[in-house]
Chain A
Amino acid sequence: MRYLPLTDTDRQEMLSVIGATSIDDLFVDVPAEARLSDKIAGLPDHVSELAVERHMAALARKNLSAGEAPFFLGAGAYRHHVPASVDHLIQRGEFLTAYTPYQPEIAQGTLQVLFEFQTQVARLLGCDVANASMYDGSTACWEAIGMARRITRRGKAILSSGLHPHYVSVANTMAKFTGDALVHQAPTLDAATDIDALIAGIDQDTSCVVVQYPDILGRIDDLTPLAEAAHAAGALLVAVVTEPVALGAIKAPGHMGADIVVGEGQSIGVGLQFGGPYLGLFGCKQKYVRQMPGRLCGETVDAAGKRGFVLTLSTREQHIRREKATSNICTNSGLCALAFSIHMTLLGEKGLRELAGLNHALACQAADRLAQVPGVKLLNDSFFNEFTLVLSKDARDVVRNLADKGVLGGVSLGRLFPDAPEIGHGLVVAVTETVTSEDIEAFAKALEEELA
Chain B
Amino acid sequence: MCNSNSNEQTALTAPDKKIVRALQEDFPLCEEPYKILAERAGIDEEKFLERVKDFLREKKIRKMGAVLQHRTAGFKSNALCVWNVPPEKLLEVAEIMSAHSAVSHCYDRNPAPNWNYNLYTMIHAKSREECDAIIAELSKLTGITNFQALYSKKEWKKTAMKYFDDEPSTNDE
Query: Does A associate with B in a complex?
Result: no
Residue ranges of A at the interface with B (Cβ–Cβ < 8 Å): none
Residue ranges of B at the interface with A (Cβ–Cβ < 8 Å): none
